[in-house]
Amino acid sequence: MRKADDPSISSTSLPKYLEHLSGDGKAIGVLTSGGDAQGMNAAVRAVVRMGIYVGAKVFFIYEGYQGMVDGGSNIVEATWESVSSILQVGGTIIGSARCQAFRSREGRLKAACNLVRLGITNLCVIGGDGSLTGANIFRKEWNGLLEELAKNGEIDKDAVQKHSYLNVVGMVGSIDNDFCGTDMTIGTDSALHRIIEVVDAIMTTAQSHQRTFVLEVMGRHCGYLALVSALACGADWVFLPESPPEEGWEENMCFKLSENRARKKRLNIIIVAEGAIDTQNKPITSEKIKELVVKQLGFDTRVTILGHVQRGGTPSAFDRILASRMGVEAVLALLEATPETPACVVSLRGNHAVRLPLMECVQMTQDVQKAMDERRFKEAVQLRGRSFEGNLKIYKRLAIRLPDDQITKSNCNVAVINVGAPAAGMNAAVRSAVRVGIADGHRMFAVYDGFDGFAKGNVKEIGWGDVGGWTGQGGSILGTKRTLPGKNLEKIAEQIRSHSINALLIIGGFEAYLGLLELAAAREKHEAFCVPMVMVPATVSNNVPGSDFSIGADTALNTITDTCDRIKQSASGTKRRVFIIETMGGYCGYLANMGGLAAGADAAYIFEEPFDIRDLQSNVEHLTKKMKTTIQRGLILRNESCSVNYTTDFIYQLYSEEGKGVFDCRKNVLGHMQQGGAPSPFDRNFGTKISARAMAWINDKLKGSQGTGKKFVSDDSICVLGISKRDLLFQPVAELREKTDFEHRIPKEQWWLKLRPLMKILAKYEASYDVSDAGKLESLRQQQGASHGEPATI
């Protein structure tokens, strides 16, 4: 990869590595259709800029299929500047509409005529399954439509030959996450942000008055939003269309609510998907639930219907990055398509971009609805996909406590400890571990204040109710310190013996990883450490070897993105301003790079990609050139440790001096605000799921050794659990040692560096984008069995 950001791209030169994918002479039409979703603009921006970058013409098709049918001023060529400053805007700037005309052949004939006159034979459709199905019908009919147009004399015969086939690539924009084949659709994460903001606000008022709140969220046919928000806020009960409650649910629910009140819980939260049904397919409404609670229990109960709030607002960092990745992937898929290529949808599995046959995904999505209509609910949940199924299982385990006499005791004690700097989502991970452990029959112990507290004996048994309400809390309730165990090995071993601890779960960042290595090395001297140990990565820096993601990084990324949005907006009244923003992360450039991608930065300086004064000079010139056009604001991110000498002050002064007369500069150091705040829905959900999986691993290890007095000495009994591409992997720390740069506290290889050129391309630099990792078309069913390890769902 090139060392520096190169000069602005010209439309005539195309980097060698992309020459086989040249867009010269190609025209791409981009439209948004169906219901709007936050992040659609980020996808439109990526398609336009990547399309122009590879030499294609890109056209906006305004108002979805209606604009395609009406033609004229609804189909307009897009320029680089026409997608400036739209990354942070919710909804879709090119409009969306339901279109009856396109459902008829006559309407599609008009649409084909409008496209072919502009030479558009590549369509990028951002919408739900209905919009994508429409695009596929259009693709199949294309040739016949052109022949009919030629016959009617509306186009000439040469046009039929020249534009003989239509390529279609879809991106799923839907807040419901109701499309099979993808872990997350564009807009889902942002909708969860809206829901969780409301739930967090409602919890404070509910607690004051000892109230029960019934919250209705969107999801007429899909319960994903209801399920994940229930998981993320620890709701008492959830109603979903795919998994109706069993007969007699009324008594069960009321019993559970009154039991929680008896345990001194001051509030109850019930979440209902708008399409919730019972086993007879009869609707369960929020009003019906309220009436039931009031009548049976006499609790003060309120209903809140969230409605279109969930569709609104700015897109989250996750949705911006997802949409940008998908948009670039969609353009590559269109350039590679041949007449034989079926319409495909670009999608995310784990942390890996993939392409799937559009109609296979649509068919499976429709199969879910059919299974629900025919009351085959178990099958509906399975068809919904591994992410949905996994969420449902975990929710049931964490929300419903079995009576003690129904839990088989394991006679094992498991300790949970937080190590390193605090990260949002740590508490959700602790809650999940404690409750899963208790459900598995273990006694759970909390270690307070990291390894320091462990050595001092700050270890207490922790119960099911003790972790209630922890999911939404930021920081670390157990307390956490950066101290390593090395100096206190003897004392820690003594505490493990005195509390008869049989396994250890460590939740933390790079210090936790180093601590695990020290404990592994001390096993020879101290028999007490010969127990299963597993680490779950939790750090805003996202620098733990063995995992693509860490708990807390998403919350930090959202803080950076929100702040960048506000900072950019602060200059809306002034002419041409550039902001230099410093992010955290130690030597790891994840936050600067991904924050740059999510906020639409012009450059992000990171330690992993060395730069010199010539690179800084070229960046300044590039920005000056941009600022002489219609672009008003520039954004530069700098990782706190990217360079000893090129400090934030130095870069600020350089840009101020060199930009004189064209733009002025401001700087901002974000600091510890990146570590604070309530955890994002992603971090709550990720922390809950990964911690539950870590406890399942501990449970398996302990089960196999029960009553044998077995000592765990092998490498595979001391692991880091993480996501790698599309797999969830337990990797022995001994194996990860070689993959670690200990001096700079980062993994030697980092997946997100492959996305670095993406940020540069979208900021109008020429950069080498590695297409070797681009998705190849895969069958959906083959896809589901393709994972080498355990499938990772996000």
Task: Pick the catalytic residue from 129, 176, 548, 554.
Answer: 176
Distance CA 388, CA 242 (A): 10
Q: Is 3 exposed, middle or buried (0-12, 13-18, 19+ CB in 10 A)?
A: exposed
Pair 113, 154: CB distance under 8 Å: yes
Comparing CA positions, the residue from 438, 385, 421, 390 lying closest to residue 185 is: 385
Pair 364, 371: CB distance under 8 Å: no
SS3 712: coil
Distance CA 510, CA 682 (A): 21
SS3 153: coil
Instruction: Assess whether 70 carries a catalytic annotation.
Output: no
Sequence letter at residue 329: E
Pair 600, 763: CB distance under 8 Å: yes
* Residue 96 in tokens: 């969306």
* Residue 417 in tokens: 């400890």
Distance CA 593, CA 598 (A): 9
SS3 457: coil
Tell me the torsion sign for CA atoms 143, 147, 148, 150: positive
Distance CA 481, CA 150 (A): 74
* Residue 467 in tokens: 């972790």
Distance CA 580, CA 596 (A): 11
- Of all residues in the chain, what percent are helix, strand and coil, respectively (each to 5)? 45, 15, 35
Q: Which helix (H) or strand (E) holds 568?
A: helix 553-570
- CB atoms inside a 10 Å sphere around CB 409: 10
Report DSSP letters for 230-275, one per residue.
HHHHT-SEEE-SSSPPPTTHHHHHHHHHHHHHHTT---EEEEEETT
- Cα–Cα separations (whole angstroms), residue 380 to 120, 242, 366, 373, 377: 39, 6, 10, 10, 5
Distance CA 23, CA 53 (A): 9
Comparing CA positions, the residue from 200, 207, 259 lying closest to residue 399 is: 259
Pair 763, 343: CB distance under 8 Å: no
* Residue 505 in tokens: 């779960």
Comparing CA positions, the residue from 55, 51, 53 lying closest to residue 43 is: 51
Active-site amino acid positions: 176
